[in-house]
Structure 1
């Protein structure tokens, strides 16, 4: 099987938007509703206050993740890998690319919001050095919300 290539991607591109729709579908199955109602502007992932990355298997987009400014922090958003490539380290490589990008833009900490019905995401974040913090985002105060941070 071909090697996975992590590279910058435009959040507004049709291929990224299709994968984001898959991610939201996955979240919807886990939590109901639309999956995630967090407001995201199409330009949230533009430098210098954000970046977005894709994981490609050949020319096929099989994963994505980005960061956007959240005060002085960088907030991880839209982390997703297609079921066909799970278990191959794609999410860990995406996370590393996002963290490096945020660090290069002077961000000192990565924060994120996830939920208690995403055990694989929780395992990735905790094994990558993320620690629980006070809930901060759109879902602050709601049942099942888990917020994490890691110093970059």
Structure 2
């Protein structure tokens, strides 16, 4: 039996987001050593709260199974996606792709025109997700794996408007 996955929101330091923060910190530390703790502490939770920021969670039976956040980055038209996470028991279900799409939709609704994001060289699955989602790499794709850290990407949200949003000519009678 399949369950419904709902979209919710919380603060990064909120109780619903706690599993995300805990497991993501563990993931960063296991891949990057003590620098993982530094990365998680780099930005205060307020940066991912409205206005300007957002933490979205995908909830299954009220429990977070995936999530991600954005914060304002530099100019008012640019958001930065951070804290992308899928619970280890729920991977390979397309949840990260859905989180990214939900973040793009929310950022567009808030007036952002561009998303920046960075992943680490020891996260090949994240690199593949962003490439598959149409993000433009701002690094040499031909560099040897692990040679580059971090791996920045950009997505122009205005380029991703659905065709249905564009004016159409009325059909001929």
TM-score, with structure 1 as normaliser? 0.88
* Cα distance per residue 1:124-147 (max 9 Å; x no partner): 10000111126xxxxxxx952100
Query: Are 1:19 and 1:63, in contact at CA under 8 Å, matched by a contact in 2?
Result: yes
| Structure 2 counterpart of 1:83, from 85, 88, 96 | 88
- Listed as ranges, the gaps of 5+ residues in structure 1 are 135-141
* CA root-mean-square deviation: 1.7
Alpha-carbon shift at residue 63 of structure 1 (Å): 1.3
Number of residue-to-residue matches in the alignment: 145
**Where does residue 28 of structure 1 map in the other structure?**
29
Is 1:97 the counterpart of 2:97? The answer is no
- Listed as ranges, the gaps of 5+ residues in structure 2 are 140-146, 158-173
**Where does residue 136 of structure 2 map in the other structure?**
131
Greater RCO, 1 or 2 (C-alpha within 8 Å, sep 6+)? 1
Alpha-carbon shift at residue 42 of structure 1 (Å): 1.8
Query: Are 2:17 and 2:64, in contact at CA under 8 Å, matched by a contact in 1?
Result: yes
Alpha-carbon shift at residue 36 of structure 1 (Å): 5.0
Identify which range, 102-111 or 142-151, moves more after superposition. 142-151
Is 1:70 the counterpart of 2:86? The answer is no
Query: Are 1:132 and 1:147, in contact at CA under 8 Å, matched by a contact in 2?
Result: yes
| Structure 2 counterpart of 1:45, from 48, 61, 67 | 48
* Cα distance per residue 1:10-42 (max 9 Å; x no partner): 222123133212101111111111415242112
**Where does residue 62 of structure 2 map in the other structure?**
59
Deviation beyond 3 Å, 4+ runs, structure 1 = none
TM-score, with structure 2 as normaliser? 0.78
Query: Are 2:56 and 2:68, in contact at CA under 8 Å, matched by a contact in 1?
Result: yes
Equivalent residue of 1:48, what SS?
Answer: coil
Larger Cα-atom Rg: 2
More strand per residue: 1 or 2? 1
* Cα distance per residue 1:32-88 (max 9 Å; x no partner): 114152421121122221111011111111111010000121000100001111111
